[in-house]
């Protein structure tokens, strides 16, 4: 059994890791940390875990974590970079669900995250954990930077177009809609039921931290810098991201459906829907799947790609487990076999 540690187990990505790992046949969660909830049993905080976990939260401690085979960081940015160097030295493998190692340009990272980076060398060695792009590197990685939720949906939707240089890379638009769980489990007025339900709004239009991450990934696919307008929206639901992506075709023609199907035909967690389908976020609720549809409305030169994920699964905990499975040579879908919950 692989011994797993989780740092930051009281947020939504933390409890989602616990929920999914409870049914992973080759894993045992042996440590889970929280400074604020030390001593509380995880099943007392999250009653859905009752009967599945006997663990209590402990204060994060490098010695204890070093006894694990792999440590997941389900923490706000800035936490993982503080503990990662010690753990890496001791041979522990790390999967960071936070943002500390996602941006290769450390100065750019500092600009967006308002922090100096304390271990730029680890940024360099970190592998960006998008299996559909980096599976081979993930196999041997010691440190994984798990993609953000919006970046997962947006990149999987855009990259077939960019890899094949089919669209104007300077004018990409990602209009993305997220459920409220993306805002985390911290007490905040803005995420209250009465502030978010029965309403829709954009936020962060002048700039959102996922913008440089998406740009970096798209630039790699396009093999050149890209121009991207990214507008995130808060949607009155708990889980789910719906990315609606717009690009201009250089040479409008048929074949996009086939292109996407070919690009993802061996991917266990990307489902290219039949032509004409509109994916619903609920079709992936609780599942590690990304479903994608491609349209060319009115046969015009604008291509519209729809890409949906569960932000807590393929956009966070599920993708982290997928990375772990790849790193440890397990069946890539171990612990990730649940279907989307409809209704």
- Which residues within the stretch 184-223 sit at the binding site for its own copies (CB under 8 A)? 185-189, 191-203, 205-207
Three-class secondary structure assignment of 218-278: HHHHHCCCCCEEEEEEECCCCCCEEEEEEEEECCCCCCHHHHHHHHCCCCCCEEECCCCCC
CB nearer to its own copies: give 1 or 205.
205
Give the integer Cα–Cα distance in Å for 204 and 196.
16
Contact with its own copies (CB under 8 A): which of 1, 35, 50, 114? 50
Contact with its own copies (CB under 8 A): which of 115, 163, 175, 328? 175
Q: Is 149 a catalytic residue?
A: yes
CB nearer to its own copies: give 90 or 185.
185
> How many residues belong to the chain?
343
Asked if 308 touches its own copies (CB under 8 A), the answer is yes
Query: What's the order of all strands across the beta sheet hosting 2-7?
Result: 27-33, 2-7, 70-73, 93-96, 143-145, 127-128
Tell me how far, at minimum, the Cβ of 70 lies from its own copies, in Å.
21
Tell me how far, at minimum, the Cβ of 66 lies from its own copies, in Å.
29
- Interaction with its own copies in 227-256: which residues (CB under 8 A)? 227, 229-231, 233, 235-240, 242, 244, 246, 248
At 302 the three-state DSSP class reads strand
Size of the site for its own copies (CB under 8 A): 89
> Within 10 Å of residue 235's Cβ, how many Cβ atoms?
20
Asked if 290 touches its own copies (CB under 8 A), the answer is no
Contact with its own copies (CB under 8 A): which of 15, 87, 138, 324? 15
Residue tagged active-site, from 149, 176, 194, 290: 149
- Interaction with its own copies in 115-174: which residues (CB under 8 A)? 171, 173
Give the integer Cα–Cα distance in Å for 39 and 92.
24
Asked if 111 touches its own copies (CB under 8 A), the answer is no
Give the integer Cα–Cα distance in Å for 31 and 106.
30
**Residues designated catalytic:** 149
């Amino acid at each position: 059994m692989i011994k797993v540690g989780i740092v930051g187990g009281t947020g939504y990505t933390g409890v989602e890791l616990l929920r999914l790992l409870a049914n992973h046949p080759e894993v045992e969660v042996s440590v889970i940390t929280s400074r604020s909830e030390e001593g509380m049993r995880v099943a007392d905080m999250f009653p859905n875990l009752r009967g599945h976990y006997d663990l209590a939260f402990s204060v994060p401690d490098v010695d204890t974590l070093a006894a694990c085979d792999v440590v997941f960081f389900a923490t706000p940015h800035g936490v993982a970079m503080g503990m990662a160097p010690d753990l890496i030295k001791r041979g522990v493998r790390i999967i960071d669900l936070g943002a500390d190692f996602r941006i290769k340009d450390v100065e750019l990272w500092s600009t967006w995250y308002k922090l100096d980076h304390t271990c730029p060398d680890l940024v360099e060695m970190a592998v960006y954990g998008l299996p559909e792009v980096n599976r081979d590197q993930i196999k041997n990685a010691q440190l994984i930077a798990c993609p953000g939720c919006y970046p997962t949906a947006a990149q999987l939707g855009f990259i077939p177009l960019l890899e094949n240089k089919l669209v104007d890379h300077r004018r990409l638009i990602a209009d993305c809609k997220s459920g409220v769980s993306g805002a985390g489990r911290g007490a905040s007025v803005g995420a209250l039921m009465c502030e978010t339900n029965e309403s829709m709004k954009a936020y962060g239009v002048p700039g959102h931290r996922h913008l440089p991450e998406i740009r970096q990934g798209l630039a790699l696919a396009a093999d050149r810098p890209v121009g991207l307008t990214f507008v995130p929206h808060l949607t009155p639901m708990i889980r789910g991201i719906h990315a609606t992506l717009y690009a201009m075709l250089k040479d409008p023609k048929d074949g996009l459906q086939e292109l996407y199907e070919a690009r993802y035909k061996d991917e266990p967690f990307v489902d290219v829907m039949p032509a004409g389908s509109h994916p619903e976020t609920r079709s992936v609720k609780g599942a590690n799947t990304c479903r994608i549809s491609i349209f060319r409305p009115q046969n015009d030169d604008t291509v519209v790609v729809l890409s949906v994920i569960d932000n807590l699964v393929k956009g966070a905990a599920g993708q982290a487990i997928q990375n772990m499975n790849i790193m440890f040579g397990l069946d890539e879908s171990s612990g990730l076999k649940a279907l989307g919950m409809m209704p």
